[in-house]
Amino acid sequence: MSLCAMNVTAASTSKLTTATHNGYATDVRSQQQTVVEIMLLNNNGDKINTTTVNQSVILGGVLTSVPSNSSNYLGGATVNIQGSLDGNKWIAITHVATQTGEFNGFFAVKWTQSKPGVIYFRATYDGDNQYAPTVSNVVKLTVN
């Protein structure tokens, strides 16, 4: 199985003083910590961990600053979606902007897999001058 077989359409505070992202170390003491969460959803919005070949799923989540609450949702930021076949080697799949307004900070990407197997996903945020970079939890999808 290959990650190339995918079709994508857009739809905790650390005590470390440096973060490494994309091979560059950054001093994050002056940046506000962030959290990005990702989950797998079916088209009804229910959490899932299995699907069938060619059945679309939604990779959805939220980006917040710490402490994570609704007043700290980060809208208009770019979240990167990555995939892995083994949970160790990650490749970029797509990126998506977090929403502003009523669904501030939330993101969603529709995804389908044309071959069976196991795929791992995570989301990353590169950060900026105000907000520190972060990497989400890993979610596992079994495609039958």
d(CA 91, CA 85): 10
Q: Following CA atoms 106, 107, 110, 112 in sequence, which dihedral angle do they give, to the nearest 10 degrees?
A: -110
Query: Which CA distances in Å does 28 have to 17, 64, 68, 100, 135?
Result: 6, 16, 18, 25, 14
Q: What is the CATH number of the domain that holds 100?
A: 2.60.40.10
Number of structural domains found in the chain: 1
β-sheet bridge partners, residue 81: 94, 123
Structural domain boundaries enclosing 115: 3-143
Residue 101 has pLDDT above 50, yes or no: yes
For 52-98, give the DSSP string: -TT--EEEEEEEEESS-SGGGB-TT-EEEEEEESSSSS-EEEEEEEP
Give the pTM.
0.80
* Percent of the chain clearing pLDDT 70 (strictly above): 80
Residue 95 has pLDDT above 70, yes or no: yes
Question: How confident is residue 17, by pLDDT bands cut at 50, 70 and 90?
Answer: very low
